[in-house]
Chain A
């Protein structure tokens, strides 16, 4: 069974631009969560999508948004990029929503975003 895939793996943008990242979960998994990882802040939760609906959201500004398609693939968008948005963006897939009794998250390789 294929793992979680993320595209692109690397991205360089300039301040003010916008970016879209893509995540394909493990086949059969319906939940996709997004995280931002930086050396200073560690892994920070952005949001979780399940059945094409955002079910939970972390403490990030509205410039960070996402969506999920009927095939469970998810995209994350960051508008008006700032230098501080440089990070590794990870998506994780689960069979169901976080909170299930035997929930487990599997991560993709991440997208390394550099904002200049």
Chain B
């Protein structure tokens, strides 16, 4: 199946710092989605991207669909304690979504 490499695996940052994470795939994707998951809950959609080069923001979150269509980036600016959680990317190369392994974010007040 498709391989989605998500990095970093975990991050420990100070409140107020910016965060950056990314996903890369072995093949071309048509859609990239970014989710946040809190413990014991389902993933919540943050940002959806549908075109190569597309840059989309949702508050302090900004995500980009890579030009090569094989990668995507998520940035969080001025992190706050409630940003804590696991962030997943999901990509659609055809008719099935594939998910990254997640980035665990810890924000230290």
Contact A105 B99 (CB under 8 A): no
In the complex, given contacts A35-B99, A48-B96, A56-B96, what are 10 additional A-B residue pairs having Cβ atoms less than 8 angstroms apart?
A4-B42, A42-B102, A43-B90, A58-B96, A90-B43, A98-B97, A104-B33, A105-B90, A106-B45, A107-B45
A5-36 near B? 1/0 per residue, CB < 8 Å? 01000000000000000000000000001010
What are 16 A-B pairs at a CB distance below 8 A? A43-B88, A45-B98, A56-B95, A90-B43, A98-B97, A99-B30, A99-B92, A101-B30, A102-B31, A102-B48, A103-B31, A104-B33, A104-B48, A106-B45, A107-B42, A110-B41
Where chain B touches its partner, the secondary structure class is loop
When A and B form their complex, which 6 residue pairs have the shortest distance between CB atoms, in order from nearest?
A107-B42, A43-B99, A99-B95, A109-B42, A107-B43, A110-B42
Contact A98 B96 (CB under 8 A): yes
List residues of chain B with CB within 8 A of the CB of A43: 88, 90, 99
- Number of cross-chain contacts by CB at 8 Å: 59
The verdict on A107 contacting B35 (CB below 8 Å), with A101-B30, A112-B40 known, is: yes
* Interface size, B (range): 20 to 34
List residues of chain B with CB within 8 A of the CB of A90: 42-43
List residues of chain B with CB within 8 A of the CB of A108: 42
| Alpha-carbon separation in the docked complex, A107 to B44 (Å) | 7
Shortest Cβ distance from B93 into A: residue: A99
Contact A98 B92 (CB under 8 A): yes
B84-109 near A? 1/0 per residue, CB < 8 Å? 00001010101111111110000000
Shortest Cβ distance from A58 into B: residue: B96
B7-27 near A? 1/0 per residue, CB < 8 Å? 000000000000000000000
What is the CB-to-nearest-CB distance from A103 to chain B, in angstroms, rounded to a whole number?
6
| Alpha-carbon separation in the docked complex, A56 to B97 (Å) | 11
Contact A59 B1 (CB under 8 A): yes
